[in-house]
Amino acid sequence: MPRQARKYSNSGIYHIMVRGINKQNIFEEDEDRERFIKTLKYYKEISKYEIYAYCLMTNHVHLLIRETMEPISLIMQRINGSYGIWYNTKYERCGYLFQGRFKSEPVEDNRYFQTVFRYIHQNPLKANLVKDIKEWKWSSLKEYYDKASFIDTDYVLDMFSEDKESAVEKVKHYLSEANEDTCLEYEERRKLRDEEIINFFIKLGIKNISELQQSEKLKRNDIIKKVKAIKGVTVRQLARITGISRSVIGRL
């Protein structure tokens, strides 16, 4: 299946996410995270991008960034390539560090910008790594609460107030609000065990697979369709468990 074309932003602003290949860690210790931040700083001077937020997790990174002189594809090629070479040298490994091409979504208005801004900084909280976002040292939050070094904080603060002190307080309040923000994320598909799938059939009134096979066709197909719709269930696995051909299940 051909990959989807990247959606380009009219504002030049993107929410970016990069993840380790096969979900592997891209940061093993603090030195690695410090190196990635240095890489962001270094290429900011070369590529002239503006960066408003970042958060380094264990196996992925979120960025809120605006392209100016160079396109986002070249910017991320520089950042990922440089860090990947450094990481491979340090850990004596070969091959790609990051999972395919980076994921991105355009950020076209202030309202969604603020949503992404909060989503990025709350990532460690929602992952249950901290009880307060201030506890996570590997994000751009400190640049807003203390002194900015390379993050373009004024662009964000001006959205909240013309007075800097007031803006900082409003940002703190906004970032502390409970929410159900959903932004760019890698979809994790967990493959279910055979036992879990069989339990779904039991909950639907089928005591065993033999009973399913002997059921009236319409009833059988209706039950299979319900199980097939469950996240993590594959056609191949259903065919193997039920003894019904993949082509039949695929058409349901």
Residue 226, C-beta contacts closer than 8 angstroms, at least 6 positions apart: 200, 204
Helices and strands per DSSP (H, E), number in the chain: 11, 4
What phi and psi values does residue 98 have, to the nearest 5 degrees? -100, 150
Q: Could you tell me the strand order of the sheet in which 50-56 lies?
A: 50-56, 60-66, 13-19, 103-106
Task: Please list the pLDDT of the chain residue by residue as tens digits (252 residues).
Answer: 456 678 899 999 999 999 999 889 999 999 999 999 999 999 999 999 999 999 999 999 999 999 999 999 999 999 999 999 999 999 999 999 998 889 999 999 999 999 999 999 999 998 889 999 999 999 999 999 988 999 999 999 999 999 999 999 999 999 998 888 878 765 555 567 788 888 888 988 888 888 888 889 899 889 988 888 887 788 888 888 888 888 888 888
Q: Which two tokens stand for residue 206?
A: 């089928």
- The CATH code belonging to domain 13-176 is 3.30.70.1290
Q: What is the pTM of this model?
A: 0.73
Q: Torsions phi, psi of 215, nearest 5? A: -70, 155
List the domain boundaries for the chain. 13-176, 194-251
The sign one gets for the Cα dihedral 192, 196, 201, 203 is: negative
